[in-house]
Structure 1
Amino acid sequence: MTSARGPGRPKLDPTVDNRQRILTTARELFSESGFERTTMRAIGRRAGVDPALIHHYFGTKSDLLVAALRPEVNVAAVFDGIADTDSSVGREFVHRVIDFWERDPQQRARAVALLRVAVTHEQIADRLREFIRGVATAALGEFVATDDSDRRVAMVMSQMLGLILARYVMKVPGIADASATELSRWVGPTIDNYLSGDIGGVSPDR
């Protein structure tokens, strides 16, 4: 016996990945209308799904925004062998981050959109911080001195967020038009110091 659909409820195609369809639609609407004016109902209507299904997959609208716009970064692939180069770890890290954004403008656009919203929405900022900390820890964890390691990772995050905002959001002259090699040469030593240098009153153990 099959159950009847409720009034107005769309019949879903079982061969379609509804989760992916919701994410794709959410990206479109967030881009077109912004976070505040986009509703779960509007996303459901365009995606052809019940809004309850969106809540089932993603929870709140903030959670959906992060899931839709969070860059897809294969940390192992992007940062593999980061210490096996002629550059310092800090310089290589900066170079690879910038190179990743330059080679994938779609991922970069999603990240920039997420950053813009995170500036004014605390819940989204919390989730973005978790994501960035996870990437930084996975990429650099083995190079972080054990003294005050949480602060060291936080300082790396702040440095890279500032660099990305200056280059891709505010488009600061001298930063926006610099090459990945130039930026890595300028910012890399600061990252190295945060990883294992003296960060103020704490003696590095490596």
Structure 2
Amino acid sequence: MSDGRSDHWERVYVTKEEAEVSWYQDAPAISLEMIERAGVSRDAAIVDIGSGASNLVDALLDRGFTDLTVLDLSKIALHVSGKRLGAAAERVHWIAADITEWRPERHYSLWHDRATFHFLTDLQDRAAYLTALKAAVPAGGWAMLATFALDGPEKCSGPPVVRYSPVTLAECLGGEFTLLNQRHHLHTTPGGARQSFQFSLFRRGSRSD
């Protein structure tokens, strides 16, 4: 299944510019807001899961964050991001991997995922994703996940998705993660369509709890 996913997303990035894909946004405003709400320091380790060629990494570098990891299934998408950043790309850790097969080698203070988890329609794939998340985020760490909301699209760029509310997403993560902030967002695609997203910010049981 991993090879099929990889082939699909490589084709997407071969045939479309980043500003043409449906999830493109000029500025990752809500993601940045959620990261600021988490209050992590500028030297905190942040991992962006399923980043594609998103400009979130650019925005975080501009804001002084110094320990950034970007992970995506598509090597082409990562190349696009690195080329866009130029010399600044050397300040980022780049990982080409399927999140359902990735085994984190370190901890991260904050896990960011805008629109990756909802593509995992297979129960085993979701379980593998959550295993990686829980290995990466220690007690006191943060996880921000954005997915299509319950009234969002049923498919995206071809593949089907699973739609979530903050409550059903919290149920997936389990009781060790507490939902601390949520936002509904109507995203306008480059083609003018409106897509309903939900953004949820969780904290894993604090060391002081």
Q: TM-score range by the shorter chain?
A: under 0.3
Which one has a larger percent strand, Structure 1 or Structure 2?
A: 2
Which structure: greater helix fraction?
1
If the length of structure 1 is used for normalisation, what is the TM-score? 0.28
